[in-house]
């Protein structure tokens, strides 16, 4: 007799309330629940109209999302009848819920997963306090009213403690009095608030990490009232195994720059190759949210925090890909590439800025000019300008290294039965990072660059054409610089024959 899944048995018949359900993690979470817990009740999704679309219309678009392809292979669209769109916004009082909808949630919900947050590192305190702190407080207030709440799962971030180089699975002391912060946001104008922001944030890197840290205390304050748990993912990246290896809809982190590198427009990347970069696949995050919720409901007391991380268990360093990344880009090239891909890692921000002038901006100007002449929309120079302006803000994340200890997560993994270990895998100890990044690249190729596997033969032919064009371009640049050197020094081209190899070496260093 097959051993039953305890996690699936717990969630069977339960109704969920999910915030952030249309985001990267949220979509994967909804897919996982519908595919692996067929007896689940309703999934109430807090949604707001977007781009002129009512929430009912947004819900109708769900079956067309690629994340649900595997689900629809074995079932019909009827499974989406379990989804219920609820009009609201975590940034509004009472979550922007109508009284009818609030009563519906209070009377029917059993499991709450709070994933909604603002992730913009450029935001000042007003929107981040409104959404990350007050939004969490509003969710917890709703939880207090829910009549049959079994568990509340809060999606935090390991970087709430990024002011520490090593962090453990506990809620650290609040960096500031939350009521004081809320009062300042409510009473001060933007200019005045921006002026005192550094004093408020103290050693926090930005308003995101600061407000998400305070949001954890909103959850902690309710831990004696009903089962709660906090899951802290690190940098969330494409799916490792499910629903489809490589699935992603996020352009954040390695997915974004590999998307640009495959196009040939991102050619230099600032990072410390030997530093640990803490990445975690989205399917592992989703599985951990469900497993952590099951375990918290089972324990019924205390607040357990889980680091969903890789840095202390299966660390990844970019040096692992040093000799693989360009091979990967040319083995699986893009038909839509605009330049021959060649990605190099640079170890400092000043060197990146210097190389970007020659490697990114000059070609971007040329390609934008070609786009204008052919009726296209010039975007490359603006893209690189945006990257340039964001570097100072991201510098600490790029060049620092963190270690997020995860003994609670490892204990949770050991607590799973064999069926649950397979169905809700949270063990990353056997991930092969080189193989995984090939999977990630293929996912970026398909889901972000919108190129099917059938385009590979044509893409490889174009890759050879772009290589030839790249060689001609390099020869032309070296010749022009050689001519410039000869003109400046007053030497003939023959007398300055030492210049081309020197120019080539210097250009290769950029």
CA–CA dist 269, 272 (Å, integer) = 10
The residue written with tokens 């109430």 in the block is 44
Over residues 150-175, mean pLDDT: 95
Query: Which SS3 state, helix, strand or coil, does residue 98 take?
Result: coil
Over residues 495-506, mean pLDDT: 87
Q: What is the pTM of this model?
A: 0.92
pLDDT at 289 over 80: yes
Give me the CATH code for the 6-249+270-317+400-431 domain, please: 3.40.50.720
Beta bridge partners of 269: 345
Over residues 216-244, mean pLDDT: 96
Tens digit of pLDDT for each residue in 41-59?
Answer: 999 999 987 777 788 888 8
Task: Give residue 284's Cα distance to chain centre.
Answer: 13
pLDDT at 1 over 70: no
The residues, ordered by sequence, that sit 6+ positions from 444 with a Cβ below 8 Å of its Cβ are 238, 246, 248, 255, 258, 259, 262
Tens digit of pLDDT for each residue in 248-268?
Answer: 999 988 998 899 899 988 888
The residues, ordered by sequence, that sit 6+ positions from 501 with a Cβ below 8 Å of its Cβ are none
**With contact defined as beta carbons under 8 Å apart, do 418 and 3 qualify?**
yes
Radius of gyration for the chain, computed over Cα atoms and rounded to the nearest angstrom:
25
Average of per-residue pLDDT values in the chain: 91
Task: Spell 107-133 as b/e; 16+ CB within 10 A means b.
Answer: ebbbbbbbbbbbeeeebebbebbbbbb
HEC string of 205-261?
CCHHHHHHHHHHHHHHCCCCCCCEEEEEECEEECCCCCCCCCCCCCCCCHHHHHHHH
């Amino acid at each position: 007799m097959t051993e039953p899944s305890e996690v699936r048995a717990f969630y069977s018949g339960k109704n969920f309330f999910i915030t952030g359900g249309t985001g990267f993690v949220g979509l994967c979470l909804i897919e996982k629940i519908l595919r692996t817990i067929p007896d689940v009740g309703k999934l109430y999704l807090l949604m707001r109209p977007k781009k002129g679309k009512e929430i009912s219309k947004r819900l109708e678009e769900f079956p067309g999302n690629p994340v649900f392809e595997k689900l629809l292979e074995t079932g019909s669209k009827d499974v989406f009848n379990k989804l219920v769109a609820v009009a609201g916004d975590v940034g509004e009082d009472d979550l922007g819920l109508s009284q009818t909808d609030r009563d519906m949630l209070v009377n029917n919900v059993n499991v709450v997963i709070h994933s909604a947050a603002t992730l913009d590192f450029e935001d000042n305190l007003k929107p981040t306090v409104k959404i990350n702190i007050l939004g969490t407080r509003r969710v917890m207030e709703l939880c207090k009213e829910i009549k049959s709440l079994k568990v509340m799962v809060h999606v935090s971030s390991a970087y709430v403690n990024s002011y520490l180089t090593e962090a453990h699975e506990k809620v650290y002391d609040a960096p500031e009095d939350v009521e004081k912060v809320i009062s300042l946001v409510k009473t001060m104008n933007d200019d005045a608030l921006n002026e005192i922001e550094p004093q408020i944030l103290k050693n926090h890197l930005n308003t995101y990490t600061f407000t998400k840290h305070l949001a954890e205390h909103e959850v902690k304050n309710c831990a004696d009232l009903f089962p709660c748990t906090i899951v802290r993912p690190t940098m969330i990246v494409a799916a490792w195994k499910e629903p489809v290896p490589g699935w992603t809809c996020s352009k954040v982190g390695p997915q974004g720059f590999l998307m640009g590198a495959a196009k040939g427009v991102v050619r230099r990347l600032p990072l410390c190759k030997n530093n640990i970069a803490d990445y975690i696949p989205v399917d592992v995050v989703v599985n951990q949210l469900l497993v952590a919720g099951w375990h918290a409901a089972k324990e019924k007391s205390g607040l357990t925090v889980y680091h969903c991380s890789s840095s202390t268990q299966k660390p990844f360093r970019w040096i692992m890909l040093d000799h693989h990344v360009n091979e990967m880009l040319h083995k699986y090239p893009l038909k839509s590439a605009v330049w021959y891909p060649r990605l190099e890692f640079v170890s400092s921000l000043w060197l990146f800025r210097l190389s970007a002038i020659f490697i990114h901006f000059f070609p971007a100007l040329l390609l934008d000019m070609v786009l204008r002449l052919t009726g296209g929309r010039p975007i490359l120079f603006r893209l690189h300008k945006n990257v340039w302006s964001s570097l100072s803000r991201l510098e600490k994340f790029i060049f620092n290294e963190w270690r997020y200890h995860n003994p609670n997560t490892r204990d949770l993994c050991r607590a799973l039965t064999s069926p649950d270990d397979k169905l809700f895998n949270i063990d990353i100890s056997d991930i092969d990072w080189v193989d995984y990044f090939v999977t990630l690249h293929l996912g970026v190729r398909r889901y972000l660059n919108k190129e099917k596997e059938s385009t590979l033969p044509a893409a490889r032919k174009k890759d050879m054409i772009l290589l030839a064009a790249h060689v001609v371009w390099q020869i032309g640049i070296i010749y022009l610089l050689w001519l410039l050197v000869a003109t400046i020094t007053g030497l003939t081209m023959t007398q300055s024959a030492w210049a081309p190899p020197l120019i080539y070496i210097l250009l290769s260093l950029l």
